[in-house]
Amino acid sequence: MLKLTRKTEYALMALGQLSQPEGGGVTKVREIADTCGIPFPILAKVMQQLARRGFVEPVQGARGGYRLKARLADVNLWQFLERMEGPLGIVDCVSEDECTQVESCSIRSPMQVIDYTLKTVFTRLSLESVIRPYAQRRGL
């Protein structure tokens, strides 16, 4: 089953907070954590991961924090998930070429079709289109 980790959920929530026009600049991790209800220590690590992966950039100083680096409209959901989670696939044999049961496996072809369909749908969704509804519901 394809399931996102909590860190990826928190990353999406933080990007939603950073993408708001009134935030438009630098936002402190504590502010994001408080607004989104995310434990601060976990979010601090998630923000570092987002920075290493090029989605946000840290800003040093008394008014420091993080700001968006990537244009969320230019990053599709599949790219984001693979950067955060690693290779994706509905079953291991789809994302990895090594399979010890390739001769007797009756589900590889159907799983490849499902995997391709998921990738197609996730590739068509920009991060902006995924995050904006969340931010609007939260009144951000």
For the stretch 29-65, pLDDT in tens is: 999 999 999 999 999 999 999 999 999 999 998 888 9
Print pLDDT tens along the chain (140 aa).
578 899 999 999 999 999 876 655 899 999 999 999 999 999 999 999 999 999 999 999 888 899 999 999 999 999 999 999 988 877 777 665 667 777 778 887 888 899 899 999 999 999 999 987 655 555 54
Distance of CA 26 to the CA centre of its chain: 20
Domain ranges of the chain: 6-137
Handedness of CA 18, 84, 131, 37 (dihedral sign): negative
85 and 75 in contact (C-beta within 8 Å)? Answer: no
Task: Indicate the DSSP class of residue 74.
Answer: G
Q: Which helix (H) or strand (E) holds 65?
A: strand 65-68
Task: Indicate the DSSP class of residue 38.
Answer: -
Contacts 24+ apart (CB under 8 A), 110-119: 114/90, 115/89, 115/90, 115/91, 118/2, 118/90, 119/78, 119/88
Q: How many CA atoms, within 13 angstroms, populate the side-chain half-sphere of residue 9?
A: 8
Distance CA 110, CA 107 (A): 5
CATH class entry, domain 6-137: mainly alpha
CA distances from 91 to 5, 30, 47, 83 (A): 17, 37, 29, 18
